[in-house]
Amino acid sequence: MIPLTGAISLNLSLAFGILTLFVIGFYIRNDDFRLYRTGQRLSLVTSGLSLLATGVLTNELIAGNFDLDYVAHYTSNETPFMYKITALWAGQSGSMLFWLAILSVYAMVAVLQNKDKHLSLMPWVIFVTTIVQLFFLAMTNFVTNPFEPTNADFVIMNGNGLNPLLQNPTMAIHPPMLYLGYVGFTIPFAFALAALIKRDASSLWIKTVRRWTLVTWLFLGIGIILGGWWAYLELGWGGYWAWDPVENASFMPWLTGTAFVHSIIIQEKKEYAQNLEYDFDYRHLHAVHIWNFPHAVRRNVFGAFFYSKWIGASLFELRFHHHDCQFWAPLLQKSGLQIRKTFGVIYVEREWISFQ
């Protein structure tokens, strides 16, 4: 009965997420403030149901309900309590649900923090964030459902247990830190895209984005350090996985995030027009999760969904930027930025600026 509650919560979260898009879309079209308030509440309900589903799966992992395929694969009666909890992100299905849970927490905080602020941008922020949530809701509902029952015609008394390599204190912290970093960049991206759509070149929203970015960038850095420590202790590869492409997938967003942090600090100090082209390549943040962690790699339709999402977002971004170049070019040049176009790709180049 309890697993059914988790599955229904995911179904309802998907439904409320779609409803959120419709309500916010009607508000953008008709400018009825009651619709905006309703959209806020629907967004909170969508996130709350996702968190409920995550709590249900965590409870089943701790209780050892081997009727669930995910629980039977990643826990056992002998698995220590702490690692029953960390089994939540040990596999692909739980990993996706955990990603969705963190995104839901961030979305709720963003909505509640800005309940009566950034009223011109927040409808689009909610819209963009909900689209990202719907992607993961679609994954967990239709592609890799963590509440799928075990396919067996007998009673399963024990599970496979967690991979011994993952039964390490650093691996109990390393993935959540990376996830907090990865997912947290969704909010700055949503604000940047909202400002692009609304053509808002003011300095008000950049302060909110700066705080979000600093926190998520810090989480990502901590996660990378913990991952290196774990590799020294467990993997026996002779040291830090500096050139392993799977783990470099976490280092590349950290580098682009570092560049973005420096960029917005310079813009805030110098009071330049905001460079809304600096989206720190959010497409890469989605693409990196195709590889996931070493213990959750699968070459299946799941990766194809990520590729299609990344390609679709890239095409939309290029089309949107192409039509917006004439508006933003003068503002960007005041900031020491230049729009260039190479092989059909539009990008922004910053000249060297130092603090005085």
Q: What is the pLDDT of residues 312-328, one digit of tens each?
A: 555 445 444 444 455 54
Q: What are 233's two structure tokens?
A: 């202790």
Is 170 found in the same domain as 158?
no
If asked whether residues 96 and 227 sit together in one domain, one would say no
pLDDT at position 257, please?
A: 87
- Please give the span between the terminal C-alpha atoms of the chain, in angstroms, as a whole number: 64
Q: Does the pLDDT at position 353 exceed 60?
A: no
Residue 110 has pLDDT above 90, yes or no: yes
The answer to whether the CB of 256 falls within 8 A of the CB of 281 is: yes
Higher pLDDT pick, 210 / 180: 180
User: Both 301 and 246 in a single domain?
Assistant: yes
Domain presence at residue 146: yes
Instruction: Verify that 311 and 300 share a domain, yes or no.
Output: yes
Q: What is the pTM of this model?
A: 0.79
pLDDT at 195 over 70: yes
* Lowest model confidence (mean pLDDT) among 39-43, 183-187, 281-285: 281-285
User: Where does a domain end: 98, 130, 162?
Assistant: 162
Establish if 94 belongs to a structural domain.
yes
| Per-residue exposure over 220-230, b if at least 16 CB sit within 10 Å of its own CB, e if not | bbbbbebbbbb
Average of per-residue pLDDT across 230-244: 62
* pLDDT recorded at residue 109: 95
Distance, in Å, from the CA atom of 336 to the CA atom of 281, rounded to the nearest integer, reads 20
Domain for residue 355, yes or no?
Answer: no
Query: Is 308 found in the same domain as 176?
Result: yes
Q: Do 214 and 136 form a contact (C-beta atoms < 8 A)? A: no
| Residues in contact with 340: Cβ distance below 8 Å, sequence separation at least 6, in sequence order | 346, 347, 348, 349
Q: What is the pLDDT of residue 252?
A: 82
Last-in-domain residue among 140, 162, 184: 162
Q: What is the DSSP letter of 149?
A: B
Please tell me which of 20-29, 175-184, 238-247 the model is most confident about, judged by mean pLDDT: 20-29
Q: What is the pLDDT of residue 239?
A: 55
314 vs 72, higher pLDDT: 72
Q: What is d(CA 344, CA 326) in angstroms, rounded to the nearest whole number?
A: 16
Q: Specify the number of domains making up the chain.
A: 2
Range of the domain at 71: 1-162
Per-residue pLDDT reduced to its tens digit, 78-88: 999 999 999 99
Q: Is the pLDDT of residue 13 over 90?
A: yes
Alpha helices, H only, 121-280? 122-138, 169-184, 186-198, 204-230, 245-270
Would 335 be classed as within a structural domain? no
Comparing CA positions, the residue from 133, 138, 128, 129 lying closest to residue 99 is: 133
Question: Would you say residue 133 has pLDDT above 60?
Answer: yes
Q: Are residues 126 and 137 in the same domain?
A: yes
Q: Return the SS3 of 348.
A: strand
> Do 152 and 169 fall within a single domain?
no
Model confidence band, residue 345 (pLDDT cutoffs 50, 70, 90): very low
- Confidence bin at 128 (pLDDT 50/70/90): very high
107, pLDDT greater than 50: yes
CB 179 within 8 A of CB 42: no
According to the per-residue pLDDT averaged within each range, which of 193-197, 239-243, 285-289, 309-313 is highest?
193-197
Tell me, what's the pLDDT at 49? Answer: 97
Is 225 inside a domain boundary? Answer: yes
Min mean pLDDT across 122-126, 292-296, 310-314 is at 292-296
Looking at the predicted structure, is the pLDDT value of residue 309 above 90?
no
Q: Are residues 42 and 157 in the same domain?
A: yes
Percentage of the residues of the chain whose pLDDT score is greater than 90: 42
What pLDDT is recorded for position 24? 96
Tens digits of residue pLDDT in 52-68: 999 999 999 999 999 99
Listed in sequence order, the DSSP H helices in the chain are 2-30, 33-63, 69-74, 81-86, 92-113, 122-138, 169-184, 186-198, 204-230, 245-270, 282-288, 301-334
For residue 339, is pLDDT > 90? no
Please check whether residue 183 is in contact with residue 102, taking contact to mean a CB–CB distance below 8 angstroms.
Answer: yes
Most confident of 98-107, 234-243, 293-302, 305-314: 98-107
pLDDT at 243: 53
Q: How far is CA 326 from CA 27, 264, 323, 338, 339, in A?
A: 28, 22, 7, 12, 10
Q: Are 290 and 307 in contact (CB under 8 A)?
A: yes
| pLDDT averaged over every residue in the chain | 78
- Mean pLDDT along residues 320-339: 49
Q: At what angle do helices 92-113 and 33-63 cross, to 10 degrees?
A: 140
Asked if residue 339 belongs to a domain, the reply is no
- Residue with the bigger pLDDT between 267 and 101: it is 101
